[in-house]
Chain A
Amino acid sequence: MVRFIRWQGMIAFIVISALVITFMYFFAETLVKKAIVSSAESAFGAEVNVAEVKLSYSPLQISILDMQVTDKETPSENLFSFGRASAGVDVWQYLFGKIIIDELEVSQLAFSSIRSQIGKVYIDEKLTEATKESLAEQAKALLPEVDMQLPNVKSLLDDSNLLTIKAATQLQQSYKIEQEKLLALKAQLPNKAKLKAYQDKVKALGKMKVKSLADIEKIKTEFSHIKAEFKADQALVKNAKLQILASQKLLAKQISEVKNAPAKDWQQIEKTYQLDSIDSEDFAHILFGEKAREYVQKAQWLYDTVAPLLKNSQGDNVTTEGKPQANGRFIYFIEETPLPSVLVKKALFSIQLEQGEVAITASELTHQHWIRGKDSLLKISSIDNGELKLTSHFNISQSGDFNGQGKWLVNNRAISNTMLTQSKALTLSLKSAQLDGQGSFQLLNEDIATTNQFSLSQASYQGNAQSTITKLLLDTIESLEHLTIELGVNGKVSKPNFTITSSLNDALTGAFKQQVAGKLADFKQTVNKGLNEKLANALKLGDSQMTELVDLEAFLNDTDKALIDLKNSDVVKQQQKKLEDKAKDKVKDKLKKKFGDLFG
């Protein structure tokens, strides 16, 4: 057995192990620094600078000093930087493949600080630029650039596109067409002379001397000829009546259109010259929406960055989902005191902002909350400038559902030099104000629901307005001592809906009513008067045309009646009766003569 063992090898092993440990001890900080810089540059796509990394071994604690991460969109600034970050790592758990940090402390954390030299950018990301620009531009585009220079009434009324004019012209044209149709029919109708001739003919038949049945037959034949003419004329009268009905219906419809046209014209004028939106425009949305969108976009960026990391690993037992990777992964099994694969038990961040220092404390930061059954807690507070408080708790379920909620409060916070909007029509910034506010939020996977109330007092604004509307807006906002804004953000995080209501809208409505409404009312009155005149003319024309139709209808009725009377004439019967009477008289005379001779 001994011959198989070389004891010198033991010494060599110890020497080599000692060398490795010594190397690790002396170069660990450099190696860790390189690893941090390399992985951060890969994650953020831009230059990362770390001044120093310090390691202490009992207990294991890593400290990163002066770390700066270049903002790839503006390389002259840092995305974030901090003076010192130190984390106490549980070595035993680290050797088991878990990162358990008992306490993480980050101090002098700052966002968008200026870099001493422009950082290198490794990845070009084009995606957010276009959307950001379009959202801001969309908000600005809502500002009415139209001035309160009202349009000229005369040119407005002469506009051939007015519905009143169009409808009147249409009515005239229709009447002309209908009139031509009726005239053509009227020319074919029997006139009074013709009717008189018919009556004369019938009378003549009635006065004819009837001596025999042959005479009666002759009258019958002539009367049936005349009746045929009556029938043809009656058919013409019937057609003319139908045409009149159709014409009346068409003209009545067009007259009704003419009557409604001025109201529609006014609506169109209001819309074209934005007169309808003057007192109902959502100015709060225009002014504060852009700022709100900026904050939501920042939150969205944070969500987009963090969400994939949270979704990455969701299992702590064999049921873990996920495709095997070439690098492999840890599979965790059930244990008596389970721990997530990454856990920061306690964290403290101190952020340096323009408005003062903000402290963030967090506990139980992990992406596997179900293992210990505890939510992550986050508290943000600042007392440098008024009072700022935010408390939030969130968790991720084993199935990957994110559920977070929280509330915030701001008290007596001073705000200065905040640009609200900058466009061609209006530039407005908040020079100084006292801000109070409170709100709550809830995030369930990708669905966000927040309600926020802000109250600005002692506000002082600075701005420049170009049009009457924006000047009025500026004057109104400057005159407000107290302004409240309610902001709601709902829907998908990637495409949120904003609802903004403010006391500014009410104030503006009042101001508009005072300063604009009078001028607008005069204008409305003049325009409506002009439109009504056009309507009256059109209706006058329409009425005379309708009267003509009514007259024509009366004439047709008379003609029709006369023709019916003539058609129903009993001239043949009368002549037959006359013949019968004559025959009876003859018989009577003969009988008288015979009986006179007999009894005479």
Chain B
Amino acid sequence: MLTLLAKLLHALNSDSSIRQIALAIALGFIVGLSPIFTLHNIVIIFFVFIIRVHLGSFILAVGLFSGISYLLSPVIVQVGESLLTQPALTNLFTYLYQISLFKLAHWHHTYILGAFVLGVALSAPVYFISKLLIEKYRVHIMTFFEKFRIVQALKASKFYRLYTSIAGDSSLSKGGL
């Protein structure tokens, strides 16, 4: 966990692509809302591995949004329930239901469909908000904090040594979009 946090801090502070980190957070948001072993999550995780997004940020985002999804579960179920029981969409879902992949993905389950729809719909705002926040962090907050003596003291600590050891290029976190 500490290593992951160090990786995130490194990513935020390094010149890693902002879009890389923001995309990782947005994808982590979609995955975090649904139960981990669902078909769409496995597909997203596969893409996270093969496209160059920041893995540390993705894993932390999944952890964070899994916790938030627990609090949001009534809303998620409500969204799925209202979609699946919407008379206007009955024909569409009946058509989709005949496709094995639809059933395999459990999109006829109120929680899973609700989480997927909410995740996909909100992933774009999450991406842009994350991007904006990281930009602001790098320009203002990082330079502001570095002025403090306590930060300089922390730099001499064990945690910072760990942080700097990780700061060396990681093959998985390198590169950007």
A residues near B, CB below 8 A?
A: 3-10, 12-13, 95-97, 318, 320, 324-336
How far does the alpha carbon of A73 sit from the alpha carbon of B88 in the complex, in Å? 52
Which chain B positions have C-beta within 8 A of A97? 103, 106, 108-109
Q: In the complex, which residue of chain A has the Cβ closest to the Cβ of B75?
A: A326
How far does the alpha carbon of A327 sit from the alpha carbon of B112 in the complex, in Å? 10
0 or 1 for each of B46-78: is its CB under 8 Å from A? (1 = yes): 101111100000000000000000000110111
Most central of B45, B74, B97 by chain A CB within 10 Å: B97
B residues near A, CB below 8 A?
A: 45-46, 48-52, 73-74, 76-78, 80-81, 84-85, 87, 90, 93-94, 97-98, 100, 103-104, 106, 108-112, 114, 171-172, 175, 177
Min CB distance B62 to A, Å, is: 14
Q: In the complex, which residue of chain A has the Cβ closest to the Cβ of B37?
A: A20
9 contacts between A and B (CB under 8 A): A8-B171, A318-B87, A318-B90, A324-B77, A326-B77, A327-B73, A328-B111, A329-B109, A330-B108
CB–CB A331/B172 < 8 A: no
How far does the alpha carbon of A329 sit from the alpha carbon of B114 in the complex, in Å? 11
CB–CB B110/A10 < 8 A: no
Which 3 A-B pairs give the minimum distances between C-beta atoms? A328-B111, A9-B49, A333-B97
- A332 with B108: in contact, given A10-B49, A97-B103, A318-B85 (CB under 8 Å)? yes
Most central of A10, A96, A97, A333 by chain B CB within 10 Å: A333
Min CB distance B142 to A, Å, is: 27
How far does the alpha carbon of A4 sit from the alpha carbon of B171 in the complex, in Å? 14
Which chain A positions have C-beta within 8 A of B106? 97, 330
Tell me how many residue pairs across A and B have CB atoms closer than 8 Å. 93
How far does the alpha carbon of A500 sit from the alpha carbon of B127 in the complex, in Å? 76
Which chain B positions have C-beta within 8 A of A330? 106, 108-110
Which chain B positions have C-beta within 8 A of A3? 52, 175
How far does the alpha carbon of A327 sit from the alpha carbon of B177 in the complex, in Å? 37
Among A5, A328, A333, A336, the residue within 8 A (CB) of B51 is: A5
CB–CB A6/B175 < 8 A: yes
How far does the alpha carbon of A5 sit from the alpha carbon of B104 in the complex, in Å? 28
- A96 with B103: in contact, given A3-B175, A6-B175, A8-B172 (CB under 8 Å)? yes
How far does the alpha carbon of A523 sit from the alpha carbon of B52 in the complex, in Å? 110
Min CB distance A338 to B, Å, is: 10
Which chain A positions have C-beta within 8 A of B114? 328
CB–CB A331/B177 < 8 A: no
Among B48, B77, B90, B97, the residue within 8 A (CB) of A325 is: B77
CB–CB A336/B98 < 8 A: yes
CB–CB B50/A328 < 8 A: no
Which chain B positions have C-beta within 8 A of A318? 84-85, 87, 90, 93-94
Supply 8 further A-B pairs (C-beta < 8 A) apart from A9-B50, A96-B100, A331-B109. A10-B50, A13-B49, A320-B85, A324-B74, A324-B77, A324-B110, A328-B111, A331-B93
CB–CB B49/A12 < 8 A: yes
CB–CB B171/A328 < 8 A: no
Min CB distance B61 to A, Å, is: 17
Which chain A positions have C-beta within 8 A of B109? 97, 328-331
Q: In the complex, which residue of chain B has the Cβ closest to the Cβ of A7?
A: B50
How far does the alpha carbon of A160 sit from the alpha carbon of B51 in the complex, in Å? 108
Min CB distance B158 to A, Å, is: 29
How far does the alpha carbon of A298 sit from the alpha carbon of B100 in the complex, in Å? 44
Which chain A positions have C-beta within 8 A of B172? 6, 8-9, 12
CB–CB B80/A13 < 8 A: no
Which chain A positions have C-beta within 8 A of B104? 95-96
Which chain A positions have C-beta within 8 A of B110? 324, 328-331
CB–CB A326/B93 < 8 A: no
How far does the alpha carbon of A580 sit from the alpha carbon of B114 in the complex, in Å? 137
Which chain B positions have C-beta within 8 A of A326? 73-74, 77
Min CB distance A7 to B, Å, is: 7
- A13 with B50: in contact, given A3-B175, A4-B177, A8-B171 (CB under 8 Å)? yes
Min CB distance A339 to B, Å, is: 11
Q: In the complex, which residue of chain B has the Cβ closest to the Cβ of A15?
A: B49
How far does the alpha carbon of A329 sit from the alpha carbon of B73 in the complex, in Å? 12
Which chain B positions have C-beta within 8 A of A328? 76-77, 80-81, 109-112, 114
Min CB distance B89 to A, Å, is: 9
- A6 with B77: in contact, given A95-B104, A328-B114, A330-B109 (CB under 8 Å)? no
How far does the alpha carbon of A41 sit from the alpha carbon of B155 in the complex, in Å? 53
Among A327, A332, A335, A336, the residue within 8 A (CB) of B77 is: A327
How far does the alpha carbon of A571 sit from the alpha carbon of B76 in the complex, in Å? 125
How far does the alpha carbon of A325 sit from the alpha carbon of B80 in the complex, in Å? 11
How far does the alpha carbon of A100 sit from the alpha carbon of B37 in the complex, in Å? 21
Q: In the complex, which residue of chain B has the Cβ closest to the Cβ of A318?
A: B90
Among B50, B78, B87, the residue within 8 A (CB) of A324 is: B78
How far does the alpha carbon of A332 sit from the alpha carbon of B175 in the complex, in Å? 45
- A334 with B177: in contact, given A326-B77, A328-B80 (CB under 8 Å)? no
CB–CB A324/B81 < 8 A: yes
Min CB distance A31 to B, Å, is: 13
How far does the alpha carbon of A255 sit from the alpha carbon of B116 in the complex, in Å? 96
How far does the alpha carbon of A104 sit from the alpha carbon of B106 in the complex, in Å? 26
How far does the alpha carbon of A12 sit from the alpha carbon of B51 in the complex, in Å? 12
Min CB distance A576 to B, Å, is: 121
Which chain A positions have C-beta within 8 A of B93? 318, 331, 333
Which chain B positions have C-beta within 8 A of A333? 90, 93-94, 97, 108
Min CB distance B88 to A, Å, is: 11
How far does the alpha carbon of A513 sit from the alpha carbon of B52 in the complex, in Å? 103
Min CB distance B175 to A, Å, is: 7
- A331 with B108: in contact, given A3-B175, A12-B49 (CB under 8 Å)? yes
- A327 with B90: in contact, given A6-B172, A97-B106 (CB under 8 Å)? no
Which chain B positions have C-beta within 8 A of A332? 97, 108
Which chain B positions have C-beta within 8 A of A335? 97-98
Min CB distance A215 to B, Å, is: 126
How far does the alpha carbon of A506 sit from the alpha carbon of B104 in the complex, in Å? 69
Among A6, A329, A331, the residue within 8 A (CB) of B50 is: A6
Which chain B positions have C-beta within 8 A of A331? 81, 84-85, 93, 108-110
How far does the alpha carbon of A5 sit from the alpha carbon of B51 in the complex, in Å? 4
